[in-house]
Amino acid sequence: MSGRFRLGLDEAGYGPRLGPLVVGCVRTRGARADVRKVFARKSSVLPKVQDSKKLYRGTLAPLETVALAARSVVMGERPRTLAEFLGNAPDRLSDHPWYGQLECQLPLVAEPGRVDGAAELMRRRLDRYGAALEVGEARPVLEGDFNRRLLAEDNKAYVELGVLEALLDEHLPAGESGHVLCDRLGGRKMYGDWLAGLLPFWKLDVEEERPRRSAYTASQGGAEVRFRFLVAGEDQEVEIALASCLAKYAREAMMTVFNRYWERRRKHVTPTAGYWQDAGRWLEAMAGDTAFEASKERLIRRR
């Protein structure tokens, strides 16, 4: 497959008190307009790829269909379990028994046949427009590992940057020109020092660092990689939107496993999505459970 790569990154779970932080990573190849024709067109089979918050409204099915279809294309077959969807087990999984071995069966709510049909349509569109989906993954940082990294970094933005660095190290094609597209990390506007550390032997030019967009060009030899950090990037670049869908779905599926585990211990406690206000309700309801009390340092994320 010829053409420049486009690598999109986005996160889910940056702010919650419970559950993992997940970073999604997508790499496509082909003309930008052709890639958008593959993912940004809505059909009765394949929902339009857009910001995950817009897809997940009232039901998980549209988001699940998109995320599982994309992983099916990358893997060559539909992932049957959450472990298969993630690919690699998260670091320190054994310290987080509420996730078990991630053998939760997928899909959770979508019809398997519908997911398979969406994946097949995605494959046909990619072939039709001469495009490729080369990478599509979601990488979680579990709560205890998040706390450990936060103690070392003293800033949760650097925890996320560490995950981005690992993904770029793995998926940035060596010696090739292309684009790296990332949703803006909170209120952070300047990424030059971080990029300089990430690419120490590259020439780095700062194009702009404005409230809604930060842009840089890194060059080495004949390769040129343009980095873009965008506010509301999911609405501007389809690769960021698809990365958002993968990250959000992975987090929702992991919270399903999380809630099933704790519901077996306290049947009257309703599930939580892990966000601050509802997490407080859930933590209060779980108080006194022996496993819960013993797990607080690995269960409750530091601010």
Q: Show pLDDT as tens, one digit a residue, over the chain (303 residues).
A: 557 999 999 999 999 999 999 999 999 999 999 999 999 988 999 999 999 999 998 899 999 999 999 999 999 999 999 999 999 999 999 999 999 989 899 999 999 999 999 999 999 999 999 999 999 999 999 999 999 999 998 888 899 999 999 999 999 999 999 999 999 877 788 999 999 999 999 999 999 999 999 999 999 999 999 999 999 999 999 999 999 999 999 999 999 999 999 999 998 899 999 999 999 999 999 999 999 999 999 999 998
Looking at 3.30.420.10, 1.10.10.10, 3.40.50.2300, 3.40.1360.10, the CATH number of the domain 5-299 comes to 3.30.420.10
> What's the pLDDT at 283?
97
> What's the pLDDT at 137?
97
> What's the pLDDT at 163?
96
pTM for the predicted model, two decimal places: 0.97
> What's the pLDDT at 95?
96
> What's the pLDDT at 2?
58
Question: Mind giving me the DSSP string for the chain?
Answer: --S-EEEEEEEE-SS-SSS-EEEEEEEEES-HHHHHHHHS---SSSPPP--HHHH-SS-SHHHHHHHHHHHHHHHSS---BHHHHH-SPPTTGGG-GGGTT---BS-SSS-HHHHHHHHHHHHHHHHHTT-EEEEEEEEEE-HHHHHHHHHHHSSHHHHHHHHHHHHHHHHS-TT--EEEEEE--TT----HHHHHHHSTTSEEEEEEEETTEEEEEEEETTEEEEEEEETTGGGT-HHHHHHHHHHHHHHHHHHHHHHHHHHHH-TTSPP----HHHHHHHHHHHTT-HHHHHHHHHHSPP-
> What's the pLDDT at 189?
87
Chain centre to alpha carbon of residue 9: 7
